[in-house]
Each structure stands twice: as C-alpha cells, then as structure tokens.
C-alpha cells in the first residue's frame, strides 16, 4: 500500500519505519530540512513510563493559583481571545478530577508499557546509537509533603504494574552520587529503574536513515498547504512542491495537526504547550548525574547525554509563538544546575524551545477517523518519544488490516 506520513518528527519517523517494515511504500513529508527538527530536537531525553501521570491531575488547580503571576512558573497561561484554548482549558480542568485523572493515568501507562516493549525490540533490531542508557529515572522532591504524596502515587503505579521504588533521602546518594552536595535540601525521591534516556533527535535522525534504507522517501523542506477530501476519503495533500497522493494518510504533525484537520471537519483538542531546554557541556563528569533526574516540584528534567547535560521543562500556553523567552529558558537552566552546580558550564548553554502537542486528558490521539483512509498519530504531549514506538506499531498494524495489539479504548478521536 502507498502511505503518506505527514510529519518527520520522532513520531512520524518512527511510524514510517514500522510501516515500511510491514511492506508498505512510504513517503514522509515535512517542512523542515531534516527529520526531528522541531519538538524532537532538544527535548528532555527521557523514555519514561513513570511520566504517565498527565498534567491534568488534582494537584494542578492548587498549583496554578500558587504560580499565578510568576513569570518563571512551571506552568504559565498567556491570556488571549482564543475560544479553542478556553474550550480546551475547561476540558483540561474537568480532567483534573481524581476519577478522571486516575483513568487517564492508567490508559497512558497501558500505552507506555506497550511502547516500552516496541522500543526495546526496535533498539535490538537496529542497534541505533543515540546516547541511550537504561539506568532508570530518579524523581526528587524538595518538600516532605511532596515526597509523601509521591510515595502514595508510587504505590499506585506499582499496583498498575510499574516498578517504582520509594527512596528515602540517604539512599538517593546510592542511586545518584552526584546529588550528595544537594542532599540536605531534598526530602526524598522515587525511582523507576526500568525507564531509560537518550538523545531523541539523534534517535530520529538515525532511524530515518534506516527507514530510507528500507525505501522510505523523505520529502523535506516541503510545506503542507492543504489536505483534500471527497466524501469519506482523503484524495491528496497539497504542498508548496506540488500535490501528493496515496492510498492511506497518517497525520503525525504534532501541534500543527489540528490546523490541517479543522477544514476537514475534524476537531482535534490539541494545543501547543511551549517547553524550554538548555544543553550544556559537562565540565566535571564526577559532578554530573549518571541517571536522568526529574525535579518534580520545579517540573524540570536533567538528563546526561554523553558529554552533554540536557535540562528541560515548563509549559507555556502562548499559542504558536516559537520565540525563546530568555528569562524562562535561563530559569530552567538555573534550576537544573541548582541540583548539579559543578557539573556543567552555564555560560556555554545552548537554549531551545519547542511546542509540545497537548490534549486535555494527556493521552495521544491514535487510529481511525471518519475518513476511511486517514489515521491519526498525534497529541503525545510531553511523552512523544516515550510513546512513539508503541504508537507506530499500532499505526502499522491498522494500516495492514491487523489487530492493533492493544486496547485502544480512550486513545482514539472517538473519546472527544
């Protein structure tokens, strides 16, 4: 079958590989000059089933009030007249109810487990080099209240099948010796030993090369103008380089997905959440982390990537504005180096920002639409890389007329 994948980020590129592996003739189209140049470019680098708890949870309304007016707050809304954003916000707040948050966590975790297995098989199959380490993710807490709540959450994750250890302060040193100097400021931690980390951009670039070797055609530096339809079928995609057609179309455009789907009558409740990162060279390996660390109260991650340290986090709802707010970016950098003050050279930091496609319930939008030859693979939020392989396996199965291999309840567009 001839398949056209819209988007060459980590999600679209991974989908293209799985589709080609199923024997399909795949073309990928993207406006950037190379794969993985947008949201996948400099993210936090975590492969984190332990991050399955959505942003929409019972703690958020209280935290939003606490962070109100703070320009460096982990979560910031830029008020503007935008009915789509306000509808999304109301749905987001509704998903903060405990029962909904628990159900959303369970379904995202179900997909994360599925994706973890798919990613492990993919890594064995391809032997990709992307600074990958399977050493776990340590979630640290600065207050006793935060740690106590995290211990409750860890027990719930364990009940759902995730290995999640509750770590008292002194044991933090055993898992991550580089935290010893800042240990007195920490109340405790939780640790997911089965999580991993690496460079998502490097992964995307290397996987794209493998995909090309399998016959995938990447049409880069090509801007999509319009998706055309006739009745219940997509008939083509208009680009600035001409019109492309296929038997099947896969939308993996992240935050841009709702913009192209709206004229087709498909309303995807996805909004862009701007995140920031800083990449800094490690100058003192002994003072740098050996595992990926999440500072849960400041909502940032610190990930070692070979000789570099990636510090990333925050969410800013400012529409499709991709400009770097230097104050927010440097706040992320400083918060990360606060835990590892002697590890890296802040003066040599490279700052970056990207738009993460967030749904109100924190789960991606996968699978069929009312158009018989259109599949969705989008809305992965902060877990794009974590969920990419599992999502790709689902898309490839559906494209081939096979069972998805996982219960898709709560993961398709039908839930909205």
> In the numeric block, which tokens belong to residue 125?
């199959």
Model confidence pTM above 0.85: yes
Q: Which of 391, 52, 388 is nearest to 192 (CA)?
A: 52
CB 218 within 8 A of CB 212: yes
User: What pLDDT digit, counting tens, does each position of 197-244 carry?
Assistant: 999 999 999 999 999 999 999 999 999 999 999 999 999 999 999 999
What is the per-residue pLDDT for 65? Answer: 76
Position 276 confidence tier, pLDDT thresholds 50, 70, 90? very high
Locate 40 and state its tokens.
């996948």
Please give the helix or strand (H or E) that residue 13 lies within, else none.
helix 10-21
Asked if pLDDT for residue 305 goes beyond 90, the answer is yes
41-83: pLDDT as tens digits:
999 999 999 999 999 999 888 877 777 767 777 878 776 778 8
The residue whose two tokens read 């707040």 is 93
Map out the domains of the chain as residue ranges.
2-40+202-268+362-415, 46-197+271-358
Q: What is the pLDDT of residue 353?
A: 96
Q: How far is CA 210 from CA 3, 52, 198, 205, 353, in A?
A: 17, 29, 18, 9, 28
Percent of the chain with pLDDT over 90: 90
Q: Which residues is 75 bridged to in the sheet? A: 315
Q: Where are the beta strands (DSSP E) in 242-307?
A: 242-244, 248-251, 271-281, 292-295, 300-305
- Residue 79: the pLDDT is 67
**Pick from 66-70, 93-97, 248-252: least confident:** 66-70
Strands (E) across 282-401 are located at 292-295, 300-305, 308-317, 350-358, 365-368, 374-378
46-197+271-358 topology per CATH: D-Amino Acid Oxidase; Chain A, domain 2 (3.30.9)
> Fold match between 2-40+202-268+362-415 and 46-197+271-358?
no
Q: Return the structure tokens found at 29.
A: 């189209």
Band (252; pLDDT cuts 50, 70, 90): very high
Q: Judge whether residue 30 has pLDDT over 90.
A: yes
Q: What are the pLDDT digits (tens) for 347-365?
A: 999 999 999 999 999 999 9
pLDDT, mean of residues 337-346:
94
CB under 8 Å to 180, separation ≥6 — which residues? 173
Give the H/E segment covering residue 75: strand 75-77
What is the DSSP pairing of strand 300-305 with strand 292-295?
Answer: antiparallel
Average pLDDT score over residue span 364-385: 98
- Of the candidates 364, 268, 288, the residue with the CA atom closest to the CA atom of residue 39: 364
- In the three-class reduction of DSSP (H, G, I as helix; E, B as strand; rest coil), residue 263 is classed as helix
Q: Which CATH superfamily is domain 2-40+202-268+362-415 in?
A: FAD/NAD(P)-binding domain (3.50.50.60)
Q: Residues 146-158: what's their mean pLDDT?
A: 93
Count other Cβ atoms within 10 Å, centred on residue 102.
14
């Amino acid at each position: 079958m001839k398949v056209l994948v819209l988007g060459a980020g980590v999600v679209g590129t991974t989908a293209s590989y799985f589709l080609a592996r199923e024997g399909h003739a795949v073309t990928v189209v993207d406006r950037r000059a190379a794969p993985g140049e947008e949201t996948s470019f400099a993210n936090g680098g975590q492969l984190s089933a332990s991050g399955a708890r959505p942003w929409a949870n019972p703690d958020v309304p209280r935290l939003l009030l606490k962070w109100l007016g703070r320009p460096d707050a982990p979560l910031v809304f830029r008020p503007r007249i935008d009915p789509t954003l306000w509808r999304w916000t109301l749905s987001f707040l509704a998903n903060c109810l405990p029962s909904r948050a628990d159900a959303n966590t369970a379904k995202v975790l179900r997909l994360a487990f599925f994706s973890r297995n798919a990613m492990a098989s993919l890594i064995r199959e391809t032997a990709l080099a992307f600074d990958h380490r399977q050493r776990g993710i340590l979630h640290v807490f600065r207050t006793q209240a935060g740690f106590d709540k995290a211990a409750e959450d860890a027990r719930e994750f364990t009940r759902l099948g995730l290995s999640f250890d509750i770590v008292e302060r002194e044991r933090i040193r055993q898992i991550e010796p580089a935290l010893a100097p800042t240990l007195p400021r920490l109340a405790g931690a939780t640790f997911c030993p089965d999580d991993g980390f690496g460079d998502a951009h490097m992964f995307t670039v290397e996987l794209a090369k493998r995909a090309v070797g399998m016959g995938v055609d990447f049409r880069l530096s090509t801007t999509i103008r319009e998706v055309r339809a006739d009745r219940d079928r997509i008939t083509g995609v208009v680009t600035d380089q001409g019109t492309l057609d296929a038997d099947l179309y896969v939308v993996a455009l992240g935050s841009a997905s709702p913009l192209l789907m709206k004229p087709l009558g498909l309303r995807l409740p996805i909004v862009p959440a701007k995140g920031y990162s800083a990449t800094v060279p490690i100058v003192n390996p002994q003072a740098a982390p050996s595992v990926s660390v999440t500072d849960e109260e400041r909502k940032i991650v610190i990930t070692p990537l070979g000789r570099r340290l990636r510090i990333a986090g925050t969410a800013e709802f400012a529409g499709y504005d991709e400009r770097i707010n230097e104050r927010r970016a440097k706040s992320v950098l400083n918060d990360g180096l606060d835990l590892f003050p002697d590890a890296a050279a802040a003066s040599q930091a490279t700052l970056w920002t990207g738009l993460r496609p967030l749904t109100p319930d924190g789960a991606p939008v996968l699978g069929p639409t009312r158009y018989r030859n259109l599949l969705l693979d989008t809305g992965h939020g902060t877990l794009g890389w974590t969920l990419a392989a599992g999502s790709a396996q689902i898309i490839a199965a559906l494209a081939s007329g096979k069972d998805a291999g996982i219960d898709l309840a709560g993961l398709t567009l039908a839930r909205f």
